[in-house]
Amino acid sequence: MPKQAQFSLDQVLIHFSELEDPRSEVNRKHPLSSVIVIAIMGVLAGARGPTGIAQWATYKQDFLCKWLPLPHGVPAKDVFRRVLMSLKPEAFQLCFTHWLAAIQQAAMKSTGVEESILSIDGKTLRRSHDCKNGLGALHSVSVWCSELGLTLAQVATAEKSNEITAIPEVLRMVDLKNVIITIDAMGTQKAIAKQICEGGGDYVLALKNNQPGLTASVRAYVEHHAGKDFRDISARRHVTEETGHGRVERREYVQFPVPDDLPGQEHWSGLKTIGMAILICTRDGKQSVETRYFLSSLPLGVKRFARAVRSHWGIENTCHWSLDMTYREDESRIRERHLTENFAWLYRFTLSLLKQHPRKTSLVMKRSGCGWNENFLLEVLTGQTT
């Protein structure tokens, strides 16, 4: 479990001190930084909207007034709603940059992870649509570090098809130096590979029918040499096997240099290797096989490649699953776009905070603990034992 970065509440408040207040001056009874920190606390404690945050704050008024600048008591729900609707999501998220950097540095130091694997994937907030106003469900693209349990950035789009344009934006929000970026097939684009390499990172990009000619060439090359057990090429292989939940999962990873005659390889910046991952799952006597192909700027080193591929699955199995099961994000009916985006970010950021806390209990219990116990809430928020 990562070791937490430690802050005081004053250090938490200061992250929002330079954020431009969207409210008119006559309506600024409550300091903006206090409003935002209460919102973070409320979401940690289980709130799912402005009304829930305000209700929680009312119950915790004595506690909040002790720790935060609140000259007029705790804000009402309209204050939280107005602020989170008015704040531009890009500016709001930017305030968390230094906070996240400190958390990431502390987590890497405690876990011994020297090279972060950042997985990029999209998620649709299924009930955020507003048919009356012609708005579809909001789709967001985020950057997740599975090994550290951190969401580092998020960009919202109107539709899933806009992921291709959102990925370059979200890449610009993170430091690409000395990291491995993993992306599903929709993000396997020449311009994205170039952006990652120019930023000082490496990539592992999934191949599917989005690149039909290239995918067919890679599949034909692999199948040709697989028939000879890869004896004629410098292939590297790594196999793992896991048992649990009534099934056996065998994963086989194979990595080899890009063949000289691979069509179009010169258009892919930094391309060095091709990879294949085979998942064989056996459950109740039935076996399923799934094979995936990848383009990568990584040199030969199959365990490093395998770590990147396996880590990418964590954004679905850990991040998105937790958002749906712990935060019930898919059930949210918040529709106003800035409000929806800002709550989506609060969910991801507080999930990161919960994952940093060393207590060995479920996320549901940790979140409940934040609602029940003020000292535990401060521990999760600041990383300090109170």
Q: Clarify whether residues 122 and 18 are in a common domain.
A: no
Helix residue ranges per DSSP H, the chain = 9-14, 32-44, 50-59, 61-67, 77-86, 89-94, 97-111, 163-171, 190-198, 212-226, 302-312, 314, 321-325, 337-356, 363-372, 374-382
Contact call for residues 125 and 380 (beta carbons, < 8 A) = no
Q: Clarify whether residues 353 and 227 are in a common domain.
A: no
Tokens of 71: 């000259």
Please identify, among 271, 290, 321, the residue that sits at the C-terminal boundary of a domain.
Answer: 321
Non-local CB neighbours of 115 within 8 Å, separated by 6+ positions: 178, 179, 180
Residue 282: strand pairing partners: 248, 287
Q: Is residue 26 part of a domain?
A: yes
Please identify, among 290, 321, 352, the residue that sits at the C-terminal boundary of a domain.
Answer: 321
Quote the pLDDT of residue 246. Answer: 83
Please identify, among 291, 321, 351, the residue that sits at the C-terminal boundary of a domain.
Answer: 321
Q: Clarify whether residues 263 and 186 are in a common domain.
A: yes
Residue 135: strand pairing partners: 130
Whole-prediction pTM: 0.90
Cα distance between residue 363 and residue 354, in whole Å: 7
Task: Dihedral sign for Cα 126, 128, 133, 122, please.
Answer: negative
Backbone dihedral region for residue 229 (phi beyond 0: left; psi -120 to 50: alpha; all else: beta): left
Cα distance between residue 80 and residue 342, in whole Å: 11
Q: Clarify whether residues 155 and 208 are in a common domain.
A: yes
Q: Clarify whether residues 341 and 317 are in a common domain.
A: no
Q: Is residue 163 part of a domain?
A: yes
Q: Is residue 64 part of a domain?
A: yes
Q: Clarify whether residues 90 and 209 are in a common domain.
A: no
Nearest CA-CA partner of 175 in 158, 152, 156, 193: 152
Helix residue ranges per DSSP H, 112-257 = 163-171, 190-198, 212-226
Q: Is residue 209 part of a domain?
A: yes
Q: Clarify whether residues 127 and 254 are in a common domain.
A: yes
Non-local CB neighbours of 235 within 8 Å, separated by 6+ positions: 225, 254, 255, 256
Task: Dihedral sign for Cα 312, 318, 319, 325, please.
Answer: positive
Contact call for residues 254 and 275 (beta carbons, < 8 A) = yes
* Domain encompassing residue 54: 9-100+336-382
Cα distance between residue 234 and residue 246, in whole Å: 36
Q: Clarify whether residues 67 and 126 are in a common domain.
A: no
The tally of domains found in the chain comes to 2
Taking only the tens of pLDDT, the chain with its 386 residues reads 555 677 789 999 999 999 999 998 887 899 999 999 999 999 999 999 999 999 999 999 999 999 999 999 999 999 999 999 999 999 999 999 999 999 999 999 888 888 999 999 988 876 555 556 655 667 889 999 989 999 999 998 866 667 888 999 999 999 999 999 999 998 999 999 999 999 999 999 999 888 899 999 999 999 999 888 888 899 999 999 998 878 899 999 999 999 999 999 999 999 999 999 999 999 988 999 999 999 999 999 999 999 999 999 888 888 888 998 999 887 777 668 799 999 999 999 999 999 999 999 999 999 999 999 999 999 999 987 65
Q: Is residue 328 part of a domain?
A: no
Quote the pLDDT of residue 135. Answer: 59
Q: Clarify whether residues 280 and 210 are in a common domain.
A: yes
Report the number of secondary-structure helices (H) and strands (E) in the chain. 16, 9
Q: Clarify whether residues 199 and 225 are in a common domain.
A: yes
Q: Is residue 65 part of a domain?
A: yes
Q: Is residue 49 part of a domain?
A: yes
Kindly give the pairing relationship between strand 117-124 and strand 180-183. parallel
Torsion of CA 205, 210, 216, 221, to 10 degrees: 0
Q: Is residue 108 part of a domain?
A: no
Nearest CA-CA partner of 381 in 3, 4, 70: 4
Q: Clarify whether residues 128 and 226 are in a common domain.
A: yes
Q: Clarify whether residues 173 and 278 are in a common domain.
A: yes
